[in-house]
Chains A and B, each alone.
Chain A
C-alpha cells in the first residue's frame, strides 16, 4: 500500500481524488451563485479561490478537498485500478483559479454580471469533471497552445 506522501513525490495520484474535489467544488460554487452579491457569497468565492490557488501554485497535496479525500475516503475504498499523472488536474486547478480571480475582481469593481458568468463557467467545469470525468482545462490546453503560438 502506497502512502499519500509517496504518491505525491511520484506525482501520480488516485484519479478519484480530483473527481471527489470536483463534486465538492460543484456544491461550493452553486452556493456562491445562490448567494452572489452578498457578503456570504463573496466569502464562499474567496474560499474556493484560495482552494484552487493552493492546488495550482503549491500542489495537489495542499488542496483541502484532496486532503479530505486522502485522509477520510481513500483509506475506506479499494486501491485504484491505475494511478494518473498529477499535472492535468493541477492545470485544471489553475484554470479554475483564473476564472474565480476574475469573478472576485469583478465583484470588487461592482460587475456582478461578469462575476456570475465567470463562476458559471467554473461551476460547469467542476460539474463536468465530477460527473463525466471531463477535464475542461485539459481539453482546451492544445487549442490554447495552437492560438498562442501561431505562425
Chain B
C-alpha cells in the first residue's frame, strides 16, 4: 500500500516539475542596456580572446555545449540559421567541459546555454535550454 502512495506522490511532483520545466526551458532573458554592466549575471563583457572568435559586427551568439546534451545539436542548427540570416551576427560554440573556469565565472549551469552579446561584447541576453528561433531574433532586435 505504501508503495502506491509513494509512486503517486513521485508522479505528481515530477509532473509539476515537468510543467515548470516546459514553460521555462529555453526562455530568453534580456538585459536592458542601462542596466548592462551593473547586473550580476548579464552585462559582463566578453572579448574575442575569451570566446575564441572575433565578435560579430552586430552581435555574437555564444553557445555552451557538452557531450551529454540532447538539445545542443538542435540549438546549433537554430543559431547557425540565425547567424546566416542576419548580417553581422557570429555564432560560436564553446565546449563547457573544456572551459570550466569560464563556465563558473558566468554561472553556466546547464547545456545548452546561449548568451547574446552586443557589438561591444556585453551580455545582453541569456537562455538555458533549447531557445526558440523567434526569441533569438527578437533578442537581436532588442540590441539596437
The answer on a CB contact under 8 Å between B70 and A84 is yes
Chain B residues in the interface with A (C-beta under 8 A):
3-4, 6-7, 10-11, 13-15, 17-18, 21-22, 66-70, 73-74, 96-97, 100, 103-104, 108-111
A124 within 8 A of partner (CB): yes
Judge whether A50 is part of the interface by a CB distance below 8 angstroms.
no
Query: For chain A, what secondary structure do more than half of its interface residues adopt (helix, strand, loop), or is it mixed?
Result: helix
Sort A-B residue pairs by CB-CB distance and give the 10 closest, nearest first: A132-B18, A34-B3, A91-B68, A33-B3, A124-B14, A141-B68, A88-B68, A88-B70, A138-B68, A30-B7
Q: How far is the CB of B83 from chain A (nearest CB, A)?
A: 20
Known contacts A127-B10, A127-B11, A142-B103: A137-B68 contact under CB 8 Å: yes
Asked whether B100 lies within 8 Å of A145 as measured between CB atoms, the reply is yes
Q: Enumerate 27 A-B pairs (CB-CB under 8 Å) in ascending A order.
A: A34-B4, A36-B3, A82-B74, A84-B73, A89-B70, A116-B6, A123-B10, A124-B14, A128-B18, A131-B15, A132-B21, A138-B68, A138-B70, A138-B111, A141-B66, A141-B68, A141-B111, A142-B66, A142-B97, A142-B103, A142-B108, A142-B109, A142-B110, A142-B111, A145-B96, A146-B103, A146-B104
Q: Closest chain A residue to B74 by CB distance?
A: A82
Give the B-binding residues of A (Cβ under 8 A): 15, 30, 33-36, 82, 84-85, 87-89, 91, 116, 120, 123-124, 127-128, 131-135, 137-139, 141-143, 145-146, 149
What's the minimum C-beta distance from A131 to chain B, rounded to whole angstroms?
6
Tell me, rounded to whole Å, the shortest Cβ–Cβ distance linking A118 to chain B: 12
Tell me the complex Cα distance, A139–B69, Å: 8
**B residues within 8 A CB of A127?**
10-11, 14
